A and B are shown apart, each in its own frame.
Chain A
Amino acid sequence: MVKRKTPMLDELEKGKWPSFVSDIKQEAESRNETDVDLQTPKEVCDDLLDLLELSFKDREGHWKHGGIAGVFGYGGGVIGRYCDRPEEFPAVKDFHTLRVNQPSSYFYRTEFLRKICELWERRGSGLTNMHGSTGDIILLGTTTPQIEEIFWELTHNLKQDLGGSGSNLRTPNCCIGKSRCEFACYDTQEACRNLTMEFQDELHRPSFGYKFKMKFDGCPNGCVASIARSDMSVIGTWKDDIRIDQEAVQAYVAGEFKPDGGGFAGRDWGPFDIVKEVIDLCPTHCMAWNGKKLGINNRECNRCMHCINTMPRALRIGKETGASILFGAKAPILEGAQLSTLTIPFMRMEEPFNEIKELVGKIWDWWSEEGRSRERLGELMQRKGFAKFLDVCGVKADPRMIKEPRSNPYIFWKEADIPGGWERDIKDFRKRHQK
């Protein structure tokens, strides 16, 4: 039986786009008809829709601020949600969210997906978000008594752990990496899994001043957008030269190979023009084409990936591969959005990943000591200055860390770096320099 009247939500079903309202309604109908032994109220989706309609009418949310729910042994992974009109909407009185650590690169077996959907239909609302922006499987809406039960089933039957929430290490995330992508400069899945296992304590037991995210991109194409979304962005790169297969370049020019792997084949763009589509678009102008041979001045290459993306059969990443490590990206709560800043131009990314683990340790120590409550690493870096941050990391300033090294020559010297410190004898100076 349908009790809801949701004229405003119904508006969100119009148009040709998918609608979360339609999805919730579909689940509401399904819950009314199912013969599953539901452990949460049958009407949970109906009440959710009614509550949202009321929020639209009142022009204010009806979820309380905060809420502390969790499982024994962990401080994160469950986000407490309580409705502020529990008498009218008893089925969503408590409607907690669970974050579940996703498998690396989202490789699922259909059997796993069926099992998790079955679990969530029975013990939750049946509503999922695949995936949250951090990468986790998000299970939306369950009651307090169900949390431990779900955790037990998740870890024992599905062999899947909770993810991060609160002021802790958020669930690390990686791109598809070497499993499917020839651009991957290191094994992102291995790095992601290894660091996830290493930092279990930080992931499950919040002890930071705020959240900390790490993401692993196999190449500068950045399929998990680590540069924009993570406090530590690990982006694959190479040290040596882009490998060129001149015959394959000729084949692209002759039209034998489709550019961009045929990605723009839906429209006739005319014959491939290597000068217009590759050479002239190189941001550092480090490429040349004489009609027969392609040349790249690799010293100037800034790894934009455009030429490799356009002619993947002719150009390949170098052989000496690793990653660049950048720090400090965040969303715009304070000071506006920030991209990560290049800190370690090149690091080998091989098991057991000790170098990056040590670096993370140094940064967490500093951030925990100096950071204010709810201050992201990027904000602390801005407040204390990049020179201080480099000190903490134990690395020297390098032109590669500067956006425009040739037009921005300013260097903040430290007293210790200057022979004689800041003190100058003016008489001695005047001996050599007239007024």
Chain B
Amino acid sequence: MPQLEIGGTTYEVDEDGFLQELDKWGRGFAQGYAAVEGIEGELTEDHWKLIDYIRDYYAQFGIAPMIRKMCKDTGFDLKRIYALFPSGPAKGACKLAGLSKPTGCV
């Protein structure tokens, strides 16, 4: 299993970089990972709004929210989400939020 070191902490991640030990997530993980997912500099308030929303939803329902619901509940349209997380809500936002890899149809 690949490992990733951020700020002195070692995390186990899968081949796509998704956190394997979900309880190890911290805000430092998200910030440390941001550059890999194409986000320059510090995460902004809007980044955290989306990350916190995804984490809350996951804690409640055990799955990642559907994209449409995510847009509706946060008030961000899809373009804004891609502007915040260039690799997209599934690959980018969910990864930074420390969720396990979303499943989906190819």
Contacts and interface: CB of A to CB of B under 8 A. Distances in A.
A406 interface: no
Given A72-B86, A79-B106, A207-B67, 8 more contacts: A67-B16, A68-B18, A69-B91, A72-B38, A73-B86, A75-B89, A80-B16, A206-B88
A207 B16 contact: no
A201 B86 contact: no
Interface residues of B, number: 23
Interface in B38-62: 38
Contacts of A80: 16
B88 A165 contact: no
A313 to B, nearest CB: 46
Contacts of A210: 105
A207 B71 contact: yes
A65 interface: yes
Contacts, number: 64
A134 B101 CA distance: 26
B15 A70 contact: no
Interface in A346-383: 368, 373-374
A201 B79 contact: yes
A373 B90 CA distance: 15
Most B-side CB within 10 Å, residue of A79, A80, A374: A80
Nearest to B104: A166
A68 B67 contact: no
Contacts of A167: 67, 104-105
Contact of B78 (A72, A82, A97, A201): A201
A190 interface: no
Contacts of A112: none
Nearest to A65: B103
Contacts of B28: none
Contacts of B102: 68
Interface of B: 15-16, 18, 38, 66-68, 71, 78-79, 82, 86-91, 101-106
29 contacts: A67-B101, A68-B91, A68-B102, A69-B16, A69-B91, A70-B91, A72-B38, A73-B82, A73-B86, A75-B82, A75-B88, A75-B90, A75-B91, A80-B16, A82-B15, A97-B106, A166-B105, A166-B106, A167-B67, A167-B105, A205-B78, A205-B82, A206-B88, A206-B104, A207-B71, A207-B78, A208-B67, A209-B66, A209-B68
Contacts of B82: 73, 75, 205
Given A167-B104, A207-B71, A210-B105, A70 B87 contact: yes
A206 B66 CA distance: 10
A211 B106 CA distance: 9
Interface residues of A, number: 29
A66 interface: yes
Interface string A184-201: 000000000000000001
A69 B87 CA distance: 9
A74 interface: yes
A208 B71 CA distance: 12
Interface in A52-91: 65-70, 72-75, 79-80, 82
Interface in A294-326: none
A364 to B, nearest CB: 10
B15 A94 contact: yes
Nearest to B103: A66
B103 A207 contact: no
Given A94-B15, A165-B106, A68 B101 contact: yes
Contacts of A75: 82, 88-91
Contacts of B79: 201
A70 B101 contact: no
Nearest to B70: A207
